[in-house]
Amino acid sequence: MNITKKVTLSFLVMALVLFSISAVLLQSPEKKAPVINGVVIPKAKSLNQFSMIDHRNNIFNNQQLEGRWHLVSYGYTHCPDICPNTLNILAGVVEKLESENKADDLKVLFYSIDPKRDTVSHLAEYIPFFHKDFIGLTYVDEMQESAQAFEQSLGMISVLTPIENSDVNPVYESYTVSHGVMLYLLNPQGNLQAVFKPEKGEGGVQHFTVQKIYADYLAVRNYFG
């Protein structure tokens, strides 16, 4: 084979290789992050070191987050509507996942922003009402700084407002509680992977639905594998 034919053959082979690579790239575009009602965090955010107590009176810290996905809700047990409604929705999500054998790697956490009222014993009565596997989190005074580090890592918003001139029980009725409405999805490394926002209904009322949380959770979990 002369030089001209060899060069021509080489170019043909190279052209064929480049064409094949281009075809593969065109058929396999970069996978896009899922669109959810909230925010997906491509590079998961690590959490500050924290330590709290769960509703079974066990220490709960960063290590307990490893190995599973966690959905975190927050609020207080005396909340008249948003908190129990959200926990009911999350129970529905877990039940739907259980029916499809997809719940083994998910835990639901409820973090109390009202630890004076929401003691371990009180959470122990409250949490199982929604689901036997839910975990309630609270803290005692010496853990306050650590618990606040957890709140700050996730961007939780809450305000305890004293009631002026109150002469009632100082622990239970001398302040009001308000808080934001978000759900936080932590990946199996214990890092923040997504934030789920509530939907808005009639009159601007914020709420979650089983269908949307279920779909958004699976979309994020499947995307990050």
- Pick out the residues of the known binding site for Cu cation: 79, 83, 179
Comparing CA positions, the residue from 163, 180, 183 lying closest to residue 171 is 163
31: Cβ–Cβ under 8 A, 6 or more apart, which residues? Answer: 223
Comparing CA positions, the residue from 147, 126, 145 lying closest to residue 136 is 126
Angle at which helix 210-224 crosses helix 82-99, to 10 degrees, equals: 60
Positions at the binding site:
79, 83, 179
Place of tokens 């009725």: 173
Place of tokens 């039940």: 95
Asked if 53 contacts 59 with a C-beta cutoff of 8 angstroms, the reply is yes
Comparing CA positions, the residue from 192, 196, 199 lying closest to residue 35 is 196
Q: At 197, is the secondary structure helix, strand, or coil?
A: coil
Q: At 73, is the secondary structure helix, strand, or coil?
A: strand
Question: Rounded to whole angstroms, how far apart are CA atoms 190 and 187?
Answer: 5
